[in-house]
Amino acid sequence: MTNSQQIRDAIVEALPISTSNYGYIPSQRNMYIPPAHSKALRLECNLVIGARGVGKSFWTAALSDSSLRASLTSEVRELEQTDVHIGFGFHSNLDSYPDKSTFSQLMASGHSPYDIWISVVIRWLCIGDESSVPKGTWNKTVDWVKNNPEQIARLTQQADQNFKNSGRFGMIVFDALDRSSDDWMQMDNIVRDLLRVVLWLKSFRSLHAKVFLREDQASRTITNFPDASKLLATKAILSWELNDLHGLLWHILCNAEASTGEVLRGVFKSVRESKPRLRDGVFYISGEVKRDSLAQRALFQALAGPWMGSGPKRGIPYIWSVSHLADGHGRTSPRSFLAAIRQAAEHSREKYPLHPYPLHYESIKSGVQRASEIRVNEMAEDYPWVPEVMLPLKGLTVPCEFLLISGLWNQNATTDLLRNSARELPPQHADRGWDGVRKDLERIGIFETMKDGRVNLPDLYRVGFGLGRRGGVKPVK
């Protein structure tokens, strides 16, 4: 077995088949903090916004685990003195918060989302004190909260003082709020009232709240209430730059278990002349490797060679592997990047076993195809209406005029059918016709409008949805 074949096997073994967190506690070996994410983890940051696959549920789960919070204190010192409670999340926990059906029932009974969220906060603050708040059902809790405003104020004030006396902070975290409702207007009310509650908590020194939101939720009219600017001033965007993605890749590769990790740390050492630093059972790459593109490019060249073909005109693998996974806003998620690299290693092992580098450039293109398939499936989960509007466009070559796209839509569907057939949240602007649907597709990064007015799709979506482009990565069959 050649060294390249060993490295291919090691990459496949080190990178997970699925990088979706699903709200479960992550491994400390996978904890990697890009600079842009440090602000999002700070107590004073109340609003965190990010697209699919950038880490919202990952950080929610990490913050909820005391041992992982301890490992984050090198970046965010105050987390060492912070107790975290989940106020809404990916997994159902009816003792801590109502699920979608319960939320809908409570609102149908006349309870406002504001009172429901206050009830969630009060239940958190009264954990261990069963006599203060009735907790049999959420309806009983919310009824009590609505009728006892003074008691609510006293309980909250006392909880704040208790945290202060113990030298600690309390933080309640809200995530996966797209699961709170199937109706945009209702979800707007739910999120807006949650942010009002978060603003209320800002008046207490030891109590904090953090809300993770999808971009499409944050772009709506959820902050049209007095003093919302105080929350917006704390906003953090979860983004991943080119160097962040390659830093994450090497952090995961170097922390692979057993002989797999030894092989990949050997690759790292062959380029950097020393292995990553080991601390508390975790290997940490240096700050230079995290930030310096030249150092990262040399490392990735050891895996994929210098060019995406026979010469520089084809592109540089270090850059190409990220740029061709970007959405219409130019952003690449770690989930797509890691999936593409794993597929590239598998494809190289099968199709190019004698290639001198572990990753063949054609296999990196295969990685883009695989990442695109995964991304398209994720879009179908988050936006069930998207496959409906993309199916008539299969086989189309882009870039093209929007008139051609709308013509295909008119032949295959109508906005009424589109609105009624979506089982989850429909397009936000479906009532504006196809121009509204186009706007929604641009907003979530599937469509991009070129300077000449034509519509284009980034490879991340074009390949998976089966559209073509001259000279581009071939669409998935």
Tell me if 27 is assigned to some domain: no
Tell me if 370 is assigned to some domain: yes
Query: Which is more confident, 313 or 12?
Result: 12
> From residue 429, how far is each of 258, 405, 434, 457 by CA, in Å?
52, 17, 9, 20
What is the pLDDT at residue 416? 57
- What predicted TM-score, i.e. pTM, was given to this entire model? 0.90
Mean predicted confidence (pLDDT) in 275-286: 91
Both 44 and 10 in one domain: the answer is no
Tell me if 30 is assigned to some domain: no
Of the candidates 433, 352, 359, 444, the one whose C-alpha atom is nearest the C-alpha of residue 15 is 359
Mean predicted confidence (pLDDT) in 297-316: 93
What is the pLDDT at residue 105? 95
Cα 127 to Cα 277: distance, rounded to the nearest angstrom: 41
What is the pLDDT at residue 411? 87
Q: Decide which of 218, 237, 256 is a domain's last residue.
A: 237
Q: What is the pLDDT of residues 327-336, one digit of tens each?
A: 999 999 999 9
What is the pLDDT at residue 421? 47
Q: Read out DSSP for 154-213? A: HHHHHHHHHHHHTT-EEEEEE--GGGG-SSHHHHHHHHHHHHHHHHHHTTSSSEEEEEEE
Half-sphere exposure of 460 (CA within 13 A, CB side): 28
Confidence of residue 315 (pLDDT cuts 50, 70, 90): very high
What is the pLDDT at residue 422? 47
Q: Decide which of 190, 218, 237 is a domain's last residue.
A: 237
Q: What is the pLDDT of residues 372-412, one digit of tens each?
A: 999 999 888 888 889 989 999 999 999 999 999 999 998 88
Both 360 and 395 in one domain: the answer is no
What is the pLDDT at residue 26? 83
Residue 279 main-chain phi, psi, to 5 deg: -145, 125
Q: Read out DSSP for 31-75? A: ----HHHHHHHSTT--EEEE-TTSSHHHHHHHHH-HHHHHHTTTT
Cβ burial of 224 (10 Å; 0-12, 13-18, 19+) is exposed
Tell me if 23 is assigned to some domain: no
Domain limits at 350? Answer: 3-16+246-379
What is the pLDDT at residue 417? 52
Tell me if 148 is assigned to some domain: yes
Q: What is the pLDDT of residues 66-125, one digit of tens each?
A: 999 988 988 899 999 999 999 999 899 999 999 999 999 999 999 999 999 999 999 999
What is the pLDDT at residue 36? 81
Residue 49 main-chain phi, psi, to 5 deg: -120, 135
Confidence of residue 415 (pLDDT cuts 50, 70, 90): low
Q: What is the pLDDT of residues 418-452, one digit of tens each?
A: 655 445 677 888 888 899 999 999 999 999 999 99
Of the candidates 44, 22, 39, 46, the one whose C-alpha atom is nearest the C-alpha of residue 174 is 46
What is the pLDDT at residue 1? 43
What is the pLDDT at residue 358? 97
Number of domain units in the chain: 3
Both 263 and 144 in one domain: the answer is no
Both 276 and 148 in one domain: the answer is no
Both 344 and 277 in one domain: the answer is yes
Both 152 and 287 in one domain: the answer is no
Both 162 and 130 in one domain: the answer is yes
Give the rounded distance of the alpha carbon of 287 from its chain centre: 24
Q: Decide which of 338, 359, 379 is a domain's last residue.
A: 379
Tell me if 476 is assigned to some domain: no
What is the pLDDT at residue 313? 84
Cis peptide before 399 (omega within 30 of 0): yes
Assigned token pair, 8: 């291919």
* Secondary structure letter of residue 25 according to DSSP: P
Cα 157 to Cα 246: distance, rounded to the nearest angstrom: 46
Both 322 and 183 in one domain: the answer is no
Of the candidates 247, 362, 364, 359, the one whose C-alpha atom is nearest the C-alpha of residue 304 is 359
Tell me if 293 is assigned to some domain: yes
Specify which residues 277 forms β-bridges with: 284
322 has a pLDDT exceeding 90: yes
Cα 152 to Cα 119: distance, rounded to the nearest angstrom: 9
Q: What is the pLDDT of residues 10-61, one digit of tens each?
A: 999 999 887 666 667 888 888 899 888 999 999 999 999 998 889 999 999 9
What is the pLDDT at residue 56? 93
Task: Calculate the CA dihedral of residues 216, 226, 114, 154 and round it to 10 degrees.
Answer: 140
What is the pLDDT at residue 253? 96
Both 445 and 325 in one domain: the answer is no
Both 220 and 254 in one domain: the answer is no
Query: Which is more confident, 186 or 204?
Result: 204
Both 305 and 327 in one domain: the answer is yes
What is the pLDDT at residue 130? 67
Cα 297 to Cα 65: distance, rounded to the nearest angstrom: 34
The CATH number linked to 169 is 3.40.50
Both 230 and 107 in one domain: the answer is yes
Tell me if 474 is assigned to some domain: no
192 within 8 A of 222, measured Cβ to Cβ:
yes
Mean predicted confidence (pLDDT) in 319-346: 95
Mean of per-residue pLDDT scores for the chain:
91
